[in-house]
Structure 1
Amino acid sequence: MAKVCWTQICSPKEKGGARVVNLAIKNKALLAKWKWRFMVEKNALWSKVILAMYSTSVQQW
């Protein structure tokens, strides 16, 4: 089995890659999306639940 670097695997097929999604980048993007929604949707039920469950760590945001 040939060893290939992760950046090669994540590159588009046109550039010789396998078009695999880089999960580290995807994870950071999704976390940023949830943080943004938490700040914007303060009256949403899910936001209130998160605030009630993790009120000590959420105040640091």
Structure 2
Amino acid sequence: MKINMSECGVCEICIESCPLGLIKKKGFKMIIQEGCKNCGECQEVCPMGCIIEDEEDID
């Protein structure tokens, strides 16, 4: 998964939704750390719709 920061409101809802705890806030950016399993939990709860699947991470 990846976050389109130009659309992100940095609301932090995705942080709470990640079952692996891999989403972190760094300054005014949200970072999805290595190890993401592309479960889509963050994508479902994002009110801005700015989290998308990263084709490079799909197995």
Shared fold (TM-score greater than 0.5)?
A: no
Q: Which has the larger radius of gyration?
A: 1
Q: Which has the larger share of strand?
A: 2
Relative to the length of structure 1, the TM-score reads 0.22
Q: Which has the larger share of helix?
A: 1
The one of the two structures with greater contact order (alpha-carbon pairs below 8 A, sep at least 6) is 2
Relative to the length of structure 2, the TM-score reads 0.22
